[in-house]
Chain A
Amino acid sequence: MPEAIEPAPAGTAPRTVLRLAGITKRFGGLTANDAVSLELRGGEILALLGENGAGKTTLMSILFGHYVADAGSIEAFGRRLPAGSPRAAIAAGIGMVHQHFTLGENLSVLDNIVLGTEPLWAPVQNRAKARKKVAELAEHFGLAVDPRRLVRDLSVGERQRIEILKALYRGARILVLDEPTAVLAPKEVEALFATLKAMVAEGLSVIFISHKLNEVMAVADRVAVLRQGKLVAELPIAEADRHSLAQAMVGRPVTPPARDALAPGEVVMQMAGVSVHGAEGRPLLDELHLLLYGREILGIAGVSGNGQGALAALLSGQRLPDDGYFELLGETVAKTSPAAMQRRGVGRVPEDRHALGVIGDLPVEENLILEASGDPRFCRFGLLRGGAIRRHARALIERFDIRGADPTTRTRALSGGNMQKVILARVLSAGPRVILANQPTRGLDVGAAAKVQEFLYAARAAGAGIVLLSEDLEELLQVCDRIAVLYRGRLSPPVPAEEADLATLGLLMSGQGAFEDDRRRPGHAA
């Protein structure tokens, strides 16, 4: 509660507000947390860093009472926290913002915040008081959001603010955020960090779960690194550097995969004056001019929602351009469908792995043949060839380093990085000549992202032209041959990656800079 916020006593050593001691948690044969001991002090941001599957989320779920530890104890503000009770955790002043939000889409912001804090049978609800309290909290921590709006109309960033408000409304003094930046645009990340800093200035404490080094360096006071369930490092951020943290996370020196210099091949994809109109007639893509060569990776930078969806839909075979000329491998694209794109030799890595990339309830081996179930290698007389499918899966699991999977594992059980490897294995094993990779490393840890890049390099070396859509500029600069920026449906002229720099691209991403057309290209029609 806001009135309960007391500033950190100046000049005294910050006291420990949360103590995790010897937390161990096993799932079957897997040890998710192995005797982890951790302390959180008042008024600090502690980053919990680790690869996917390192046990960060498990640890926080134990703290919040979703799981019960097999061993160990938790103390909050000097009092022992009963295990397995989220209610007790909330009462002890712990608030949790999950990676996947837990909001009722059909309810208003205020309803979502108040939900669960009022007795169900109260004849009258004191909404005015609640609204006032929410407004105060929002004002105080820079979490502006209109309490009357419905959650389904809000952006991801706004929803996150509601989650934080929800925790604060319940009197949280310790806020746990699980991968809070995974879904945010750069500007929203800045705003979130400002809020977090305002909160710790008030004496609250924050645990910030992340696998992104630069964010941890930017916002945390201390960092704790988890690897394979064990706490492997814990140090003040002032004593940390990116390189050693990365190494602690992965457990071995991290070297980005080597990218060979290759001469670009022939044009494999061409768009000239391509436009796509949205539902309200607003252009999603506005007169796009683009050439893609074989043996190159063309990066498309930009904040999501600036036309990436429409561009991906064109290359995925989900729609045709409304205007303009679209050519793939020397053939005009007049009719389209996902299957037709596969036949043309286009490999498609969708943005949303869970929703479009894999069928989570099917085993890995069947996801690996999802796009090739009619291939005579896997299907004869309408019957699936189980043996061949199993061997195919074993080979790809080996070749693409898909961890924790055997052919019959349900795909849902894999981590995000390994799920992405399943998709890449399926797409790349078909030998595509044009590849759409839509945010392929989003949400992946360093090790898995490096693997994904390595696979893309291999496809590039094999002659494929790759369109890489990403919001991560540093990654684009490292991986791509050429980079263009998409802003409100307009594409900036691609520049070679060596000539591009973060500042210029950043400006282009926010709409400042040259978006003149790239019309000096051959093969115009329209």
Chain B
Amino acid sequence: MRLEPRAHIPLWLSLAAPVAAVALAFACCALLIVWAGAPVVAAYEALLRGAFGSVFAVTETLTRAAPLIFTGLAAAVAFRAKLWNIGAEGQLYAGALAATWIGTGMVTLPPLLMVPLLFLAGALAGGLLLLVPAILKLKLRVDEVVTTLLLNFIVILFVNYLVFGPWKDPLSMGWPQAAPIIEEGILDPLVPRMRLHAGFLWAVGLAVFTWAFIRFSRWGFQIRAVGHNPEAAAFAGLPVGATVLRTALLSGGLAGMAGVCEVAGAKGYLTLDISPGFGYTGIAVAMLAGLHPLGVVAAAIFVAAIYNGADAMSRAMSISNYLADVLTATALLLVLASVLFVRFRPRLR
């Protein structure tokens, strides 16, 4: 088989390729299910039902997708500008911290103002946290992969200290958690008696905003230009340093909002387990989406569905729910490989 570059890439192909890759991922993982001794069709049926089979399943999937959209956007924006932000996890906790600090009684406003205030505070906290590595990168050429990654541990250990210490809720029966967010700051549920909350709408709205920002705004144009060729951008007089800092604020801000989404939405208060690695999974989400902000929404829902569905499958079939990790990883690898077939035409000779 040979590969030849395609002169034009049809739209249907760039949409069909990831779908085919995902289908192939399911086929590959079927082998693992067989190995685990469960019937494949029934297992996948359980997975599908767990992800989308009822109102409860759908809302749970979307609830889980919301923070992934935020962290996926954070990674997509940063990676577009070649700012390797591996610190979305820490920025998420920073956002959660800020929301908790402001939202547990320090300020009381009507809900229409309180919720945006919490998101703003979370975005600021996340953005400022990423600004530090970005400045170090610009001024001292410190590798941001290392600094953003290590900042995660610092922030999480700081949250640890707070919820075990000064911020520990006296009414929590001894659990390490902060006081709940006040009523006015809580994200409204979207479906009665379900956990799905307005944070999901915020996430989708910000995905659209981010897409439009990158595509239509001057600053977004500069992010793309600097990401593709920083030397040429600098030669053309574009503000490369300022662009990197703006990207850091945007990316960190989006990750910070993921923290607000969890503290004011899904949980209602700050604990140490508000994120099962949303920050890191966000990187996979962004890569699955080809760094496209609207694609991030679809990719986040997909990943959330896999994780939720795998939980259901593991209960029904007694297969380990680690299969979700394997499925996501396989899908990611295959989607990345499928990019090759979008850009090149395979030919048998």
Binding site for B on A (CB under 8 A): 27-30, 67-68, 83-84, 316-318, 337-339, 341-342, 348, 350, 355-362, 366, 370-371, 373-374, 379, 382-384, 386
Contacts and interface: CB of A to CB of B under 8 A. Distances in A.
B112 interface: no
B216 A386 contact: yes
Given A28-B8, A382-B217, A384-B218, A358 B232 contact: yes
B156 interface: no
Given A28-B8, A357-B232, A360-B229, A339 B237 contact: yes
Given A84-B2, A342-B237, A383 B216 contact: yes
A373 B222 contact: yes
Nearest to B5: A27
B222 A338 contact: no
Contacts of A360: 228-229
A232 to B, nearest CB: 25
A68 B349 CA distance: 10
Contacts of A370: 225, 232-233, 236, 238
Contacts of A366: 221, 224-225
Contact of A359 (B2, B7, B218, B232): B232
B229 A359 contact: yes
Contacts of A68: 2, 4, 347, 349
B153 to A, nearest CB: 34
A309 to B, nearest CB: 13
B44 interface: no
B236 A384 contact: no
B10 to A, nearest CB: 12
Contacts of A28: 6-8
A348 B232 CA distance: 12
Contacts of A357: 232, 235
B319 to A, nearest CB: 41
B217 A373 contact: no
A324 B265 CA distance: 65
Nearest to A370: B236
Nearest to A355: B231
Interface residues of B, number: 27
A382 to B, nearest CB: 5
Contacts of A374: 218
B167 interface: no
A247 B247 CA distance: 52
Contact of A84 (B232, B237, B349): B349
Nearest to A341: B237
A67 B7 CA distance: 14
B212 to A, nearest CB: 9
Contact of B228 (A83, A337, A362): A362
B228 A359 contact: yes
A356 B231 contact: yes
B218 A338 contact: no
B217, B229, B237, B349 — most chain A CB neighbours (10 Å): B237
B217 A383 contact: yes
Contact of A371 (B217, B219, B236, B239): B236
Given A318-B235, A348-B235, A384-B221, 11 more contacts: A27-B5, A28-B6, A316-B235, A350-B235, A356-B235, A357-B235, A358-B232, A362-B228, A366-B224, A370-B232, A371-B237
A383 B217 CA distance: 4
Contact of B237 (A338, A359, A379, A382): A338
B23 interface: no
Given A68-B349, A382-B218, A384-B218, A362 B224 contact: yes
Contacts of B239: 339
A359 B235 CA distance: 11
A12 B96 CA distance: 87
Interface string B220-260: 01101100110111111111000000000000000000000
B292 to A, nearest CB: 14
B52 to A, nearest CB: 37
8 contacts: A28-B8, A29-B7, A355-B232, A356-B232, A358-B232, A366-B225, A382-B218, A386-B216
Contacts of B347: 68
Contacts of A30: 7
Contacts of B224: 362, 366
A349 to B, nearest CB: 11
Contacts of A27: 5, 7
Contacts of A83: 349
Nearest to B229: A359
A348 B5 CA distance: 33
Contacts of B349: 68, 83-84
- By Cβ-Cβ distance, the 6 closest A-B pairs, closest first, are A28-B7, A339-B237, A338-B237, A370-B236, A361-B228, A356-B235
B232 A373 contact: no
B218 A379 contact: yes
A132 to B, nearest CB: 38
Contacts of A355: 229, 231-232
B7, B224, B225, B236 — most chain A CB neighbours (10 Å): B236
A310 B185 CA distance: 59
B340 to A, nearest CB: 17
A72 to B, nearest CB: 15
Nearest to B230: A359
Nearest to A350: B235
Given A68-B349, A338-B236, A361 B229 contact: yes
Interface in B1-56: 2, 4-8
A337 B216 CA distance: 26
Contacts of B231: 355-356
A342 B239 CA distance: 13
A350 B237 CA distance: 13
A338 B228 contact: no
A337 B238 CA distance: 10
Interface string B51-93: 0000000000000000000000000000000000000000000
Contacts of B236: 338, 370-371
A345 to B, nearest CB: 13
B184 to A, nearest CB: 32
A117 B1 CA distance: 24
